[in-house]
Structure 1
Amino acid sequence: MKLDLSNPAWHQTLPPGRAVAGDAPVAACAFSKDGSIAAFALGDGRVRLLPGDINAGETPAAEPLHGGVVLALVGDPAGDGFVSGGDDGRLLRIATDGTASEIVNQKGKWFEHLAGHRATGAVAASAGKTAFVVKGGEVKEFGPHESTVAGLDFSKDGSRIACAHYGGVTVWSIGQVTLPPRKFVWRGSHVALKWSTDGKFIATGTQENDIHVWRMAQATDMRMQGYPAKVKSLSWTADARFLYTSAQPVFTAWPFSGKGPEGKPPLQFGEEGAGLISVVAAHPAAEFVAGGYDSGELQLGDIKTRRSVVLKMADGSAITGLAWSPDGYKLAVGNEAGTLLVLDLRR
């Protein structure tokens, strides 16, 4: 994928795309496995589906699928649709026609976090102190943890899941539940988690406005401080050389090649936005990164050239969801005001 961020046409203008009023805050967005559909999880129980092709006809408005707020959403790694979780305690599989079937029901709990593993077709979800892994019609439970699970992710090969909670991270073996879990301890609350794309590191954002990272092989850890707010969004580059983090006014990438980030400052680049980055999403293959701000601004950055462009000026409504299509040519964007965007970056 090639984009010329020095082209003046990129600055402060939205690329070709589709904008739809969702009429409810966006909690998350995702693309289907084949990239043909973008989905948006809304605060009124609906999951709105839009064609990935911005020139295609618009899909009809969705009916509520959850009894409350849709809290989490991922593309279904085992099919063409999506998986959603809500505060009604239901985990749903959503087909491309908008119909839904229930996978798990945990009445009285919230399904707040989801992760999918493309190669194995498995989905991980958390409700309260318990994590669930759904694969091939089988549902396995992991936990309970010492507190509510605040983030989870699969290992590179999909054989394990990591769950963030108060006091650190617990890693479970999915294939053999009888194996004891592996614990990585660090005091305090952990509010986000991402396993590196090469499987070597687990990173968390903490309540203390910093990030914590463990090396899986040696079980050693490191702490990166200096953030003005909690880091709730983490994204590894496709080659695992950099970890992008939210909660800064510019793109912030910690280097993990060579000896890693110890004793080194992060790479920071881009236009200083009108606020702090609330959501960050590294490109699935190239050296680009998308950042959405709590002020409503949207930027696209290139770590190779240390350039960025403002694609959307701040409008006061925080960006709450970002998702790249699998081929990396489209970007789904959602905000607190309920604006749903599908942008085509091929220009």
Structure 2
Amino acid sequence: MKLDLADPTWQIDLPRHRSVAGDAPVAGCAFSRDGTVAAFALGDGAVRFLPADLSAAVPAGAAPVHKGAVLALAADPAGTGFVSGGDDGRLLRLALDGSVSEVANQKGKWIEHIATHRATGTVAASAGKMALVAKDGEVREFGPHQSTVADLDFSKDGGRLACAHYGGVTVWSIGQVTLPPRRFAWAGSHVAMKWSPDGKFIATGTQENDIHVWRVAQAADMRMQGYPAKVRSLSWSADARWLYTSAQPVFTAWSFAGKGPEGKPPLQFGQEGAGLITVVAAHPTAEFVLGGYDTGEVQLGDIKSRRSIVIRIADGSPITGLAWAPDGFRLALGNERGDLVVIDLRR
């Protein structure tokens, strides 16, 4: 991705974008696998599609697919559409033509988190204290865990699934070889989790305003403190060198080169936003990162130059979703007010 944040025109002109008013708050957003469509999960039960091409016509508003709020959304790893979860207990597959098929139904539970693994075509979802794993028409259950599953993520090869919960993280073997679950313990509530792209680390944000990281091979752990709020969003750089975190007024990145970050301060860079970062999203291939603020501001940061630029001006509505298209030039964002935005960074 060729983008020079030192170019003064970036400080003056906002990138091309399309903004559509939704009918409910945005819980999250995602791009389809081919990057042609951005989808937005809404609090009224609908999933709204917008074309990534800003010159294309905007389709009419979407009808609800869940009876209640949509809580989780991701690109379908085994198709061209999306998968969604709601507080109606349903895990759904959504085709781009608007058709819907049910993957699982956990009546009385919320499907709050979804993880996908593109190479294996596997979908995982949280349902109360259980984790569901769907592949090739089969749905398997893992658990129960100590508490409600607060987040989940796949290992690099897709053969293991990590589930965050009160007291730590449990890793399940979900591939051909079945092994006993492995527990990474740390007291307290873990509210967000991401497995590093190289498979070496599992990171969580905790209720105690810090992050906890385990080195998977040795089960060694480290704790990084000093946040003014709970870290609810984590994102690894594509090369697994940096872990970006929310809950700071500037971009905050922990280095995992060499021996790792324990005992060292994080790298902090960029313009200080008028508030705290609520969502972070690392670029799929390059050294850029997006940060959405609780004021509605969105910044694009470059860790190589230690610079950032404002690509969306604060409007008072917290950013609740950020997603990169696979091409790394377009992005989607949503906020608490219900604005659905697609931005094209090509100039």
Shorter chain as denominator, the TM-score bin is: over 0.9
SS in 1 for 2:285: coil
Structure 2 letter corresponding to 1:248 = Q
In structure 2, C-alpha distance between the alignment counterparts of 1:60 and 1:245, rounded to whole Å = 35
Q: Which residue does the alignment assign to 2:204?
A: 204
Letter paired with 1:104: A
Encode CA deviations 1:126-148: one digit per residue, 9 max, x unaligned. Answer: 01000011111111110010100
Deviation at 1:4, TM superposition (A): 1.3
The answer (yes or no) to whether the contact 2:38–2:342 under 8 Å persists in 1 is yes
Unaligned 5+ segments in structure 2 are none
- Which digits, 9 at most, give the CA deviation of each residue in 1:228-287, with x for residues without a partner? 000000000000000000000000000001111022110000000000000000000000
Tell me the CA shift for residue 12 of structure 1: 5.7
Partner of 1:231 in structure 2?
Answer: 231
> Is residue 15 of structure 1 aligned with residue 15 of structure 2?
yes
Letter aligned with residue 39 of structure 1: A
| TM-superposed deviation, 1:98 | 1.9
What residue in structure 2 maps to residue 170 of structure 1?
170
CA apart distance, 1:176: 4.7
Residue aligning to 1:98: 98
Between the aligned partners of 2:116 and 2:196, the Cα distance in structure 1 is 14
The aligned residue for residue 257 of structure 1 is 257
Alignment of 1:186-197 (within 5 A): 186-197=186-197
Q: Structure 1 stretch 2-11 or stretch 121-130: which is displaced more?
A: 2-11
User: What is the one-letter code of the residue matched to 1:285?
Assistant: T
> Whole-Å Cα distance in 1 between the matches of residues 224 and 12 of structure 2?
32
Conserved in 1, the CA contact under 8 Å of 2:234 and 2:280?
A: yes
Superposed CA RMSD:
0.9
2:226 counterpart of 1:240: no
Which residue of the partner structure matches residue 337 of structure 1? Answer: 337
Amino acid at match of 2:230: K
Alignment identity in percent?
A: 77
Q: Which amino acid aligns with 2:218?
A: Q
Deviations 1:142-174 (A, max 9, x none): 001010000000000100000000000000000
Q: Secondary structure at the match of 1:10?
A: helix
> What do residues 295-339 of structure 1 show as CA deviations (whole Å, max 9, x unaligned)?
110000000000000111111100000000011111100000000
1:281 aligned residue:
281
User: What TM-score do the two structures reach when normalised by structure 1?
Assistant: 0.99
Aligned residues: 347
Instruction: Please state whether the residue corresponding to 2:183 is helix, strand or coil.
Output: strand
| Distance of 1:212 and 1:270 partners within structure 2 | 24
Which residue in 2 is equivalent to 1:33?
33
> Partners of 1:314 and 1:293 in 2: how far apart?
8
- 1:217 match: 217
Aligned to 2:73: 73
TM-score by length of 2: 0.99
| Corresponding letter in the other structure for 2:110 | W
| CA distance in 2 between partners of 1:166 and 1:312 (Å) | 36
Q: SS of 2:9's equivalent? A: helix
Match of 2:92, SS? strand
Q: Is the 8 A contact 1:12 1:309 kept in 2?
A: no
Decide whether the 8 Å contact of 2:158 with 2:175 is kept in 1.
Answer: no
Correspondence 1:43-58 to 2 at 5 A: 43-58=43-58
Give the deviation of 1:13 after TM superposition: 4.2
